[in-house]
Amino acid sequence: MEGFIATGLIGISLGSQYTLLALGFTLIFGILGVVNFAHGGFYVMGGYVAYYCSAVLGLPYVVALLIALAATFVLGWLFEVLILERVIDDHQATLMVTMGFYLVLATGILVIFGAESPEFSFPISGVWRVGDVYFPYANMVVLGACLAAIVFVFWLVYRTNVGRSLRAMAEDRTVASALGMPTKILFPFAFALATGLAGLTGALVTPILALAPHVGDPVLAFSFLTVILGGLGSVTGATIAAFIVGLIEAYAAVYLGGSKGALTLFVLVLVILVIRPQGLMGKEVRRA
């Protein structure tokens, strides 16, 4: 029973990380209609910026987090304005451009920091223990930070005028801009928000998991999986799906073991998609 609870906590913790990644991914898809292959790159960059600020420059970890968030936000903004905006209406071009940018980011990090994992560990150690349930403090802090960020995103998207505008753009950007919505400001903002979330997640999670130039690959895969499961473009769907994925992954890993865990996850997702091809919260595509 204790193992069951502890595994559940890990699953929720994983779920909150996947949520942050998937929220950014789904926002970009929903609002700009772009599948952002560079998403994992911003996660890696967030990790390295946080590493450099805290381990090399000696800044407090919280400051390093904020700098990682700001750096990935700014880079995302610039990337959208300078590159992506030029090809925004061409689906194939956006795929090529974001994938190319991921390669540039990952290779740039490889050149600057080398291929080996740097020494970057979470500043808080120790384990919280109630009865026989163990939960590392580091995971608890990450969980808390992720949940706070998720609440912030939901507040922004559902309770503010900016969020209403973002949702309207996701619904129909042609109509929204025809009514006067400034897409030239909101597109880069949405993109930067998403990349900032990926960077923040990287800065929070890589000290617990691993930091290396290539750790963005599985991030992209899991973001994709989560967002398709939740329904492309759906914020709520992505959140629910992320927690499902996190919990399945945790339980399958503990009770079934390594590779069977991943297999279980993919089979379950496959089954769900056979039953609901549009994802949990996705809408059926209607054509005029």
Partner 1 sequence: MDGANLTRGDALRVESISKAFGGLKVFHDVNFTMPAGGLLGVIGPNGAGKTTMINIISGRLPPSSGRVMLGDTRVDSQPVYSNAGRGLVRSFQQTATFNDNSIEDNLLSAIRFSGKDRSVLERLAVLLEKFGLVENWRRDANLLPYGLQKMLGLTMALATEPRMLLLDEPAAGLEKSERGNIDDYIAFAQTEFNCGVLLVEHDMDLIKRLCPQVIVLDGGKLIAEGAPGEVLARKDVIDAYLGGSDEEDDHAQHS
Nearer to partner 1, 172 or 217 (CB): 172
Question: What whole-number distance in Å separates Cα of residue 240 and Cα of residue 229?
Answer: 9
Find the shortest distance in angstroms from Cβ 127 to partner 1. Answer: 45
Identify each DSSP E strand in 35-142 by its residue range: 127-130, 133-136
Footprint of partner 1 on 46-105 (CB under 8 A): none
SS3 196: helix
Find the shortest distance in angstroms from Cβ 31 to partner 1. Answer: 13
| Cβ within 8 Å of residue 202, ≥6 positions away | 42, 43, 44, 45, 46, 47, 50, 68, 72, 219
Nearer to partner 1, 186 or 204 (CB): 186
Question: What whole-number distance in Å separates Cα of residue 19 and Cα of residue 12?
Answer: 10
Instruction: Phi first, then psi: give them for residue 163, nearest 5 degrees.
Output: -65, -40
Find the shortest distance in angstroms from Cβ 224 to partner 1. Answer: 25
Find the shortest distance in angstroms from Cβ 13 to partner 1. Answer: 32
Find the shortest distance in angstroms from Cβ 161 to partner 1. Answer: 6
Nearer to partner 1, 14 or 84 (CB): 84
Nearer to partner 1, 91 or 283 (CB): 283
Footprint of partner 1 on 144-173 (CB under 8 A): 161, 164-165, 167-168, 171-172
Footprint of partner 1 on 228-287 (CB under 8 A): 283
| Residue positions counted in the chain | 288
H or E, element range at 145: helix 137-159
Tokens matching residue 182: 């400034």
Residue 192 near residue 76, CB atoms below 8 Å = yes
Footprint of partner 1 on 174-203 (CB under 8 A): 174-184
Assess 214 for contact with partner 1 (CB under 8 A).
no
Q: What is the CA radius of gyration of the chain?
A: 19
Nearer to partner 1, 175 or 270 (CB): 175
Query: Total residues at the site for partner 1 (CB under 8 A)?
Result: 20
Nearer to partner 1, 177 or 264 (CB): 177
- Burial category of 193 from C-beta neighbours within 10 Å (exposed 0-12, middle 13-18, buried 19 and up): buried
Find the shortest distance in angstroms from Cβ 190 to partner 1. Answer: 15
Alpha helices in 160-234 (DSSP H): 161-178, 183-205, 216-230
Find the shortest distance in angstroms from Cβ 128 to partner 1. Answer: 41
Nearer to partner 1, 167 or 276 (CB): 167
Binding site for partner 1 (CB under 8 A): 161, 164-165, 167-168, 171-172, 174-184, 283, 288
